């Protein structure tokens, strides 16, 4: 037996290990299972190239919890270690790795949001154990070795009793870490970190129901048997070639990833590159709602099938964090801060590769099955619109397939839209005016007025659409978006010809004074317009610019500097001087009747804009009944 001191420069690394990674104690199991997996895969490689003359067989890893003895065992059938190798790899290599990691960690990387904490390795066992043993037998012809260390820098190394090849790690779980002896906690960790690792992992047994033997009676219970409980799927879909997978396999894998999710994904994108970086994965487009925030952080990041984190910020562009699925890449540095990560060359390449693949997939869906793409548009538009806003490269591509639905359910690309509208919706300054509504029901009367003129009205109801319109107006030539209630119909798209006014200037002056007197406290800007006599007499409008700025601010960014948080809504009251009713208002002699006509008309205009509510609505209804009588 040999005794020794682990080569220490930090006098006592073990308390440090415990203290520093306080919140991440649970990763010890991932580290030890990773080592067991590495050892098994190394053996596989050595046998395949003929360097190890042993039977590889069907190795697996086993986790055993001994609650009474307060021990946790991690057992593999990998290549094992000789005593010399333990000395080298555990006492020197692993230790210096752990030490280096801690130094880095101390240097403030801790506060900047490390992902994963890979790298501590074997010594992370001391986060939960006050004594650790290694019993290992190499595939080489050498006696087994037994290493033991109680958490001080002192270790013992002696010959061990182990017949079969492989390594068993025994953790003597510390009193403050007994949670890691509970089946439920272990299962939770295995599911979180090891669900897709490449070597089968056994944890206990489970009862399987067998088919009833022939001739069994109805009331006979089906026979059962105890089988190994294998907690992982060693060959998850993303490690396979796209050509080997069917639609059903992709859907099946989605259910494996999100067992609690009952809705099926809309489509998927298989990522698969090995140069200039290595990346595999499958991304899914789920049905998305208008709520941007609750849908994030569902993409899981793996390294060689080991789960690292479900926060992929900095690796996947922001707009794609609403997608789901898996990314697996050994090329993402994990012991660095987020800000460093975003500046990392490899990560930048990965991010733009993912963006490009997503754009290409959408583009091919659009080209190959437009009808299907249209049907899915409402469920995916939020990602595409967000992407167009935030990534210029994506904008360029998406501009060709982004759709603009009309209130009647037709879908146009921007180019098609321009083509379709240019005849009727170009104003006198040669500007193409794109009309839209944000709510089909609430803006119904305005939509109808536009349709009477033969105008197309888009339905633009995403939470960030105001930002996108702003961007489109800035990047396309001579176009503008105008909501149908932004002005009265003749002003929405200004043409050359003007309606001739039925009222003289003098009459207009009188009318205006009377209107202002009656509705003085309702703060509308009154605007007299000579319109078609069939257009509504009173119309309330809400100018595009101010409304949009306000909306942009509410949905974040954009108008922030305008300080419009508390800006009141601004409305205009457009009065159609060519309408018969307006003529009547002007000509009515009794003041009472005049006032009633004005108030009733104003209330109707407010009703149609959805502004008449509460006591005023009640009053209006009462007044209307009286008039019906
Ligand atoms: P890393 O895995 O990054 O190399 P670790 O600290 O996890 O660092 O492990 C250090 C070394 O100890 C490994 O590189 C390996 O040589 C050896 N080792 C650890 N666990 C095992 C095991 N179960 N079987 C064989 N060798 C192992
Ligand atoms: Mg390791």
Say if residue 53 is exposed, middle or buried (CB neighbours under 10 Å; 0-12, 13-18, 19+). Answer: exposed
- Is 35 a pocket residue for ligand 1 (Cβ < 6 Å)? yes
| Among 540, 512, 524, 528, residue whose Cα is nearest residue 449 | 540
pLDDT the model gives residue 115: 37
| Among 20, 29, 5, residue whose Cα is nearest residue 121 | 29
Q: Give the whole-angstrom CA distance, residue 87 versus residue 397.
A: 57
% the chain with pLDDT above 70: 89
pLDDT the model gives residue 19: 65
- Overall average pLDDT of the 273-293 stretch: 86
- Rounded to the nearest angstrom, the distance between the alpha carbon of 165 and the centre of ligand 2 is 19
- Is 39 a pocket residue for ligand 1 (Cβ < 6 Å)? yes
Number of the ligand closest to the Cα of 98: 1
Q: Which is higher by pLDDT, 524 or 523?
A: 524
**Pairing between β-strand 71-76 and β-strand 166-173 as defined by DSSP bridges:** antiparallel
- Is 168 a pocket residue for ligand 1 (Cβ < 6 Å)? no
- Is 347 a pocket residue for ligand 1 (Cβ < 6 Å)? no
Q: Give the whole-angstrom CA distance, residue 295 versus residue 23.
A: 25
Q: Give the whole-angstrom CA distance, residue 461 versus residue 445.
A: 17
Q: Which is higher by pLDDT, 25 or 380?
A: 380
Q: Which is higher by pLDDT, 332 or 62?
A: 62
Q: Tell me the whole-structure pTM to 2 decimals.
A: 0.85
Averaged pLDDT of the chain: 88
User: For residue range 82-99, what is the model confidence (pLDDT) as tens digits?
Assistant: 999 999 999 887 777 666
Ligand 1, pocket-test mutation among 21, 36, 38, most atoms within 8 A of CB: 38
Ligand 1, pocket-test mutation among 94, 95, 124, 164, most atoms within 8 A of CB: 94
Indicate whether 9 pLDDT > 80: no
**CA end-to-end span of the chain:** 110
Q: Give the whole-angstrom CA distance, residue 319 versus residue 327.
A: 16
Indicate whether 116 pLDDT > 50: no
User: For residue range 20-61, what is the model confidence (pLDDT) as tens digits?
Assistant: 665 578 889 999 999 999 999 999 999 999 988 999 999 999
- Is 94 a pocket residue for ligand 1 (Cβ < 6 Å)? yes
Task: Please check whether residue 299 is in contact with residue 310, taking contact to mean a CB–CB distance below 8 angstroms.
Answer: yes
255: confidence class by pLDDT, cuts 50, 70, 90: very high
- Overall average pLDDT of the 113-126 stretch: 65
In this structure, the residue with its CA closest to atom 15 of ligand 1 is: 89
In this structure, the residue with its CA closest to atom 21 of ligand 1 is: 35
pLDDT the model gives residue 292: 65
For residue 251, the number of C-alpha atoms closer than 13 Å in the C-beta half-sphere is 8
Indicate whether 480 pLDDT > 60: yes
410: confidence class by pLDDT, cuts 50, 70, 90: very high
- Overall average pLDDT of the 204-210 stretch: 92
| Contacting residues for 272 by C-beta, under 8 A, at least 6 apart | 241, 242, 279, 280
E-strand spans in 78-165?
A: 129-137, 145-149, 154-159
Indicate whether 560 pLDDT > 50: no
pLDDT the model gives residue 240: 96
| Ligand 1 atom index nearest CA of 123 | 6
In this structure, the residue with its CA closest to atom 8 of ligand 1 is: 121
In this structure, the residue with its CA closest to atom 11 of ligand 1 is: 89
- Rounded to the nearest angstrom, the distance between the alpha carbon of 455 and the centre of ligand 1 is 71
- Rounded to the nearest angstrom, the distance between the alpha carbon of 119 and the centre of ligand 2 is 7
User: For residue range 299-329, what is the model confidence (pLDDT) as tens digits?
Assistant: 999 999 989 888 888 889 999 999 999 999 9
> Hunting for tokens 């609403």 — which residue is that?
322
| Ligand 1 atom index nearest CA of 42 | 25
- Overall average pLDDT of the 128-148 stretch: 96
Number of the ligand closest to the Cα of 101: 1
- Is 73 a pocket residue for ligand 1 (Cβ < 6 Å)? no
| Among 267, 272, 382, 373, residue whose Cα is nearest residue 319 | 382
- Overall average pLDDT of the 605-615 stretch: 93
- Rounded to the nearest angstrom, the distance between the alpha carbon of 7 and the centre of ligand 2 is 19
Ligand 1, pocket-test mutation among 30, 89, 168, most atoms within 8 A of CB: 89
| Among 118, 152, 156, residue whose Cα is nearest residue 134 | 156
- Is 167 a pocket residue for ligand 1 (Cβ < 6 Å)? yes
In this structure, the residue with its CA closest to atom 23 of ligand 1 is: 36
Q: Give the whole-angstrom CA distance, residue 627 versus residue 353.
A: 68
pLDDT the model gives residue 110: 45
Ligand 1, pocket-test mutation among 35, 45, 82, 142, most atoms within 8 A of CB: 35
Indicate whether 13 pLDDT > 70: no
Q: Give the whole-angstrom CA distance, residue 287 versus residue 552.
A: 24
pLDDT the model gives residue 151: 76
Q: Which domains does the chain have, with CATH numbers?
A: 2-204 (3.30.565.10), 237-378 (3.30.230.80), 403-492 (3.40.50.11260), 505-628 (1.20.120.790)
pLDDT the model gives residue 499: 76
- Is 76 a pocket residue for ligand 1 (Cβ < 6 Å)? yes
Structure tokens, 584: 């009547």
191: confidence class by pLDDT, cuts 50, 70, 90: very high
- Overall average pLDDT of the 337-359 stretch: 85
pLDDT the model gives residue 528: 93
- Is 81 a pocket residue for ligand 1 (Cβ < 6 Å)? yes
pLDDT the model gives residue 70: 98
- Is 90 a pocket residue for ligand 1 (Cβ < 6 Å)? yes
- Rounded to the nearest angstrom, the distance between the alpha carbon of 117 and the centre of ligand 2 is 12
pLDDT the model gives residue 566: 63
Q: In the chain, count of helices (H) and strands (E)?
A: 19, 22
Q: Which is higher by pLDDT, 564 or 282?
A: 282
344: confidence class by pLDDT, cuts 50, 70, 90: confident
pLDDT the model gives residue 114: 39
pLDDT the model gives residue 112: 38
- Rounded to the nearest angstrom, the distance between the alpha carbon of 606 and the centre of ligand 1 is 74
């Amino acid at each position: 037996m040999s005794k020794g001191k682990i080569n220490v420069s930090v006098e006592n690394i073990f308390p440090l290990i415990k203290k520093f990674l306080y919140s991440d104690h649970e990763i010890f199991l991932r580290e030890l299972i990773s080592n067991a997996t590495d050892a098994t895969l190394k053996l596989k490689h050595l046998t395949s190239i003929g360097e190890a003359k042993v039977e590889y067989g069907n190795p697996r890893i086993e986790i055993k919890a001994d609650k009474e003895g307060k021990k946790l065992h991690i057992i593999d059938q990998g290549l094992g270690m000789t005593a010399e190798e333990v000395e080298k790899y555990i006492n020197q290599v692993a230790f210096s790795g752990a030490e280096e990691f801690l130094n880095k960690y101390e240097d403030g990387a801790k506060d900047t949001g490390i992902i994963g904490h890979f790298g501590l390795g074997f010594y992370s066992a001391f986060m939960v154990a006050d004594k650790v043993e290694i019993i290992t037998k190499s595939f080489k012809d050498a006696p087994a070795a037994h290493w033991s260390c109680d958490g001080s820098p002192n270790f013992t190394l002696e010959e061990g009793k182990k017949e079969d090849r492989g390594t068993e790690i025994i953790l003597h779980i510390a009193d403050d870490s007994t949670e890691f002896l509970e089946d439920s906690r272990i299962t939770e960790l295995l599911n979180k970190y090891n669900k897709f690792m490449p070597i089968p992992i056994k944890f206990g047994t489970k009862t399987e129901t067998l088919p009833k033997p022939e001739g069994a009676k109805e009331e006979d219970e089906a026979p059962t048997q105890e089988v190994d409980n294998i907690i992982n799927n060693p060959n998850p879909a993303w490690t396979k070639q796209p050509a080997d997978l069917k639609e059903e396999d992709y859907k099946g894998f989605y259910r494996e990833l999100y067992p609690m999710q009952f809705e099926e994904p809309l489509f998927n994108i298989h990522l698969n590159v090995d140069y200039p970086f290595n990346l595999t994965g499958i991304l899914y487009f789920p049905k998305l709602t208008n709520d941007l925030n609750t849908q994030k952080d569902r993409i899981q990041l793996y390294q060689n099938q080991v789960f690292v984190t479900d926060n992929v910020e900095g690796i996947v562009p922001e707009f794609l964090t609403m997608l789901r699925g898996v990314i697996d890449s050994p090329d993402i540095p994990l012991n660095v801060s987020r800000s460093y990560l975003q500046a990392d060359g490899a990560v930048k390449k990965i991010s733009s590769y993912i963006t490009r693949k997503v754009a290409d997939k959408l583009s091919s869906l659009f080209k190959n099955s437009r009808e299907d793409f249209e049907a899915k548009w409402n469920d995916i538009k939020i990602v595409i619109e967000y992407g167009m806003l935030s990534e210029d490269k994506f904008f360029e591509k998406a501009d060709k397939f982004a759709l603009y639905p009309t209130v009647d359910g037709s879908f146009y690309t921007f180019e098609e839209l321009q083509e379709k509208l240019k005849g009727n919706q170009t104003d006198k300054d040669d500007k193409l005016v794109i009309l839209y509504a944000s709510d089909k029901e609430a803006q119904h009367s305005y939509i109808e007025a536009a349709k009477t003129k033969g105008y197309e009205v888009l339905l633009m109801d995403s939470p960030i659409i105001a930002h996108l319109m702003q961007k489109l107006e800035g990047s396309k030539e001579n176009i503008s978006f105008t909501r149908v209630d932004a002005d009265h119909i003749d002003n929405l798209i200004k043409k050359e010809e003007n309606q001739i006014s039925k009222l003289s200037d003098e009459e207009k002056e009188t009318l205006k004074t009377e209107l202002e007197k009656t509705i003085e406290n309702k703060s509308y800007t009154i605007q007299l317009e000579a319109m078609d006599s069939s257009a509504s007499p009173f119309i309330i409008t809400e100018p595009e610019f101010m409304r949009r700025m306000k909306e942009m601010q509410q949905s974040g960014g954009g108008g922030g500097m305008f300080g419009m948080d508390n800006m009141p809504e601004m409305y205009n009251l457009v009065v159609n001087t060519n309408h018969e009713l307006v003529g009547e208002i002007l000509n009515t002699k009794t003041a009472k009747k005049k006032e009633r006509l004005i108030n009733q008309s104003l209330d109707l205009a407010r009703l149609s804009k959805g502004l008449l509510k509460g006591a005023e609505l009640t009053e209006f209804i009462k007044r209307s009944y009286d008039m019906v009588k």
